[in-house]
Structure 1
Amino acid sequence: MATVNRTLLNPDKRRCSRVPFHRNVKISTQDRIQGRFRAQNLSQGGMYIEGSVDLPLGHECRVELHETGPLASTIYQVRGKIAHRGKGGVGIQFTDMEDYSFAYLQTMVLYASDNPIETAEHFLEGFTPSANSSC
């Protein structure tokens, strides 16, 4: 997996806009599938998963979600770690993902945000355009 700019993946959690994100996800580790769970919300740096994920705080995991549309299906995979436990689930902090997964999750946060302009500005913090950019 390609590492996306860590500034974009791990912003200060108090500035992190959370949006509803109700999708089924599969959580796994290197050696086994933990199960299928329901995502409750999504932010720029992670997601909250409902249910009892049997992994300790700080443990690395992989989140897989499937999006199915009328013409195609896509599987998005994100690496993360268990960041906190709540009453009904766990928070997963994103640590690594492919560019297409980042673009998808970024789009989901942007479209569901109450303030998409401010949310987009947070995405651009720490972004430095390439000297070879021809746009």
Structure 2
Amino acid sequence: MARNERRSNTRVAFQTTMDVAFTGGRKYPGCAIQDLSVKGVFLVGVRQQAVGDRCDLTLCLSGTSSELCLRMQGEVMRVEDGGVGVHFIEMDIDSFYHLKNIVYFNAADPDHIQEQLVE
């Protein structure tokens, strides 16, 4: 792990966007995801937010015949020049199930994902 690296969850590169709405009204539609885990996301291009800010996040996945949207609430845990790291603080069970599968099927070591979920 890198110096000052406290995150232990497997993060995967998942090339898509997420709609983000912060408490207070600032919105970032179509915000790029740098990496994603079962416990959080790094959002590229989010500016003028502070650690502790809360937000609603929506990740929509489109298929050939339907669209699936995952909805969660998050809190900014890290602010960098390029964006913010958001920790998921709440999501419904269906969103969690689909998020877990996204991370699982994109991870280099999928079995490690299962181990992290029981920690």
- TM-score w.r.t. the length of structure 2 is 0.86
Q: Tell me how far apart the structure 2 counterparts of residues 47 and 110 of structure 1 sit (CA, whole Å).
A: 15
1:34–1:53 Cα contact (<8 Å) kept = no
In the other structure, the counterpart of 1:22 is 15
Q: What is the percent sequence identity of the aligned residues?
A: 24
In the other structure, the counterpart of 1:88 is 82
In the other structure, the counterpart of 2:102 is 108
Gaps of 5+ in 1: 1-12, 126-135
Q: Tell me how far apart the structure 2 counterparts of residues 58 and 31 of structure 1 sit (CA, whole Å).
A: 13
> Is the radius of gyration larger for structure 1 or structure 2?
1
Helix, strand or coil at the partner of 1:95: strand
Task: State the one-letter code of the partner of 1:123.
Answer: L
Task: State the one-letter code of the partner of 2:59.
Answer: L
Q: Tell me how far apart the structure 2 counterparts of residues 64 and 14 of structure 1 sit (CA, whole Å).
A: 23
Q: Tell me how far apart the structure 1 counterparts of residues 46 and 118 of structure 2 sit (CA, whole Å).
A: 34
In the other structure, the counterpart of 2:65 is 71
Task: State the one-letter code of the partner of 1:109.
Answer: V
Q: Tell me how far apart the structure 2 counterparts of residues 46 and 15 of structure 1 sit (CA, whole Å).
A: 11
Q: Tell me how far apart the structure 1 counterparts of residues 25 and 89 of structure 2 sit (CA, whole Å).
A: 19
In the other structure, the counterpart of 2:53 is 59
Task: State the one-letter code of the partner of 1:29.
Answer: F
Q: Tell me how far apart the structure 2 counterparts of residues 52 and 66 of structure 1 sit (CA, whole Å).
A: 19
In the other structure, the counterpart of 1:6 is none
Gaps of 5+ in 2: 1-5
The 5-angstrom pairing of residues 34-45 of structure 1 reads: 34-36=27-29, 37-45=31-39
Question: How many residues matched?
Answer: 113
Comparing both chains, which one has the higher relative contact order based on Cα–Cα distances under 8 Å and sequence gaps of 6 or more? Answer: 1
Cα-Cα RMSD: 1.5
Whether 1:123 and 2:117 are equivalent positions in the alignment is yes
Which one has the bigger strand percentage?
Answer: 2
Q: Tell me how far apart the structure 2 counterparts of residues 29 and 85 of structure 1 sit (CA, whole Å).
A: 14
Deviations 1:96-118 (A, max 9, x none): 00111101111111111111112
1:49–1:92 Cα contact (<8 Å) kept = yes
